[in-house]
Amino acid sequence: MQLHKLGEFGLIERIRKKFKKARSSKRILVGIGDDTAIISPHIDKLVLLTIDTMVEGLHFDLSYMTFADIGWKLMASNLSDIAAMGGIPVCALISLAVPSSYEVKWIDELYKGIEKISRRFNVSLVGGDTVSSSLLVVSLSLYGEIDRKKFSLRSGAKVGDLIFVTGNLGGSEAGRLVLKHNLPLGGEVLAEVKSKHLHPIPRIDKAKMLLKNVRIHSMIDISDGLASEINHIAEESKVGALIYEDKIPISKSTQKVAEKLGDKAINYALYGGEDYELLFTLSQGEQKKVKNLTNRIPIGEIIERKKGVLLIDRNGYKHRLKAKGYEHFKNTISAIKRTRTAMS
């Protein structure tokens, strides 16, 4: 059945029924179905608000992603922002712009993906908006909470800090390439990079554990690639940074994919994005605790602003590390120019 047969209200009713059971918290007084949701806020906490949007053709490719994958990933990218602050997610709103020719079962699947990850992280879907459009655009907004005193910003890095990441980088880009080119790769490699790309696990628990045990100076989630994120930290903290190429953690599977494609895996880590690990900085005195808690070694250090953001390669040469992950508007400008010229 196509969506135009069911209509807007039919679809909302369908979603409502599914999420009635999934309502996990007593703090949600009113969920889907009224003019707004009603939430009982936690009096001792600060509120976090975030939103992310996925656009068909730009953020997902239906040739290798299922609708459930899209739902999972959209929620994961939002949760990752909450993790970067050190917060806990509470509830979500979804805006759905969808072609009326879409099959109802595709939207069912999209919401299944959303429900699966919501259950895992204890998030309640409390409302949204539904409109028809020429291509699928889904926005998800999250309400989360943090301790009044324990949160982590991009702006707190200090000269002399060590830089850490919570896990392997570049795996999502490797997965995207494997899926896109349908590369023939062995089971384990394939499973690892595929799941890194399609079902990333936001580091909510790790961030909370770290904030509880060590004094974090700054933190950001790695959604656009290490190069871009370390530049954000440097910019907001008014510092420079030095990253050691040989210390960036990259899994064997990711290396294998890069080899197969004649790429350098380091470029997936620096510029690939969507790994949803966390990057954080803290003083040297805290290093031992991080090692004990996460078994991670530093990948770099914070230096003076005037020295810039640098990468030291395996031969000891320094390079300026530019933020050249994907940037909206910039990466699409030539396409728009072409269209405009054609129209005028």
Q: Is 123 in the site for ligand ADP (CB under 6 A)?
A: no
Question: Given the structure tokens 């209200």, which residue do they identify?
Answer: 9
Distance from chain centroid for Cα 75: 8
Choice between 19 and 72, CB closer to Mg ion? 19
Choice between 100 and 255, CB closer to ligand ADP? 100
Residue 132: CB minimum distance to Mg ion, A: 13
Site string for Mg ion, 129-158 (x = CB under 5 A): x-----------------------------
Choice between 34 and 259, CB closer to Mg ion? 34
44's contact among ligand ADP, Mg ion, none, with CB below 5 to 8 A by partner kind, is none
Choice between 14 and 150, CB closer to ligand ADP? 14
In 3D space, the residue among 191, 190, 193, 187 whose CA is nearest the CA of residue 170 turns out to be 193
Choice between 22 and 159, CB closer to ligand ADP? 22
Residue 128: CB minimum distance to ligand ADP, A: 3
In 3D space, the residue among 167, 218, 204 whose CA is nearest the CA of residue 87 turns out to be 204
Distance separating alpha carbons of residues 276 and 222, to the nearest angstrom: 5
- Stretch in the footprint of Mg ion (CB under 5 A) among 20-28, 59-67, 125-133, 149-157: 125-133
Q: Is 269 in the site for ligand ADP (CB under 6 A)?
A: no
* Sign of the dihedral defined by the CA atoms of residues 20, 26, 32, 35, in that order: positive
Give the DSSP H or E segment for 155.
none
Residue 49: CB minimum distance to ligand ADP, A: 16
Cα 210 to Cα 36, 144, 248, distances in angstroms? 35, 18, 20
Distance separating alpha carbons of residues 131 and 129, to the nearest angstrom: 7
* Window 290 to 329, contacts with Mg ion (CB under 5 A): none
Q: Is 15 in the site for ligand ADP (CB under 6 A)?
A: yes
Cα 60 to Cα 119, 144, 252, distances in angstroms? 23, 26, 25
Residue 100: CB minimum distance to Mg ion, A: 17
Pairing of strands 278-282, 162-165: antiparallel
Q: Is 138 in the site for ligand ADP (CB under 6 A)?
A: no
65's contact among ligand ADP, Mg ion, none, with CB below 5 to 8 A by partner kind, is none
Cα 64 to Cα 52, 61, 68, 76, 223, distances in angstroms? 21, 6, 12, 18, 20
Q: Is 35 in the site for ligand ADP (CB under 6 A)?
A: yes
Cα 42 to Cα 146, 214, 323, distances in angstroms? 10, 24, 38
Distance separating alpha carbons of residues 102 and 155, to the nearest angstrom: 43
- Stretch in the footprint of Mg ion (CB under 5 A) among 90-98, 128-136, 148-156, 326-334: 128-136
Choice between 27 and 319, CB closer to ligand ADP? 27
Q: Is 129 in the site for ligand ADP (CB under 6 A)?
A: yes
Q: Is 7 in the site for ligand ADP (CB under 6 A)?
A: no
Q: 104 and 11 in contact (C-beta within 8 Å)?
A: yes
Distance separating alpha carbons of residues 75 and 73, to the nearest angstrom: 5
Residue 135: CB minimum distance to Mg ion, A: 20
Burial 81-99 (b: 16+ CB within 10 A, else e): bbbbbbbbbbbbbbbbbbe
Q: Is 110 in the site for ligand ADP (CB under 6 A)?
A: no
- Stretch in the footprint of ligand ADP (CB under 6 A) among 122-130, 152-160, 238-246, 310-318: 122-130
Residue 301: CB minimum distance to ligand ADP, A: 45
Q: Is 127 in the site for ligand ADP (CB under 6 A)?
A: yes
By CB under 6 A, name the binding residues for ligand ADP.
12, 15, 32-35, 94, 96, 125, 127-130
Residues that bind Mg ion (CB under 5 A): 129
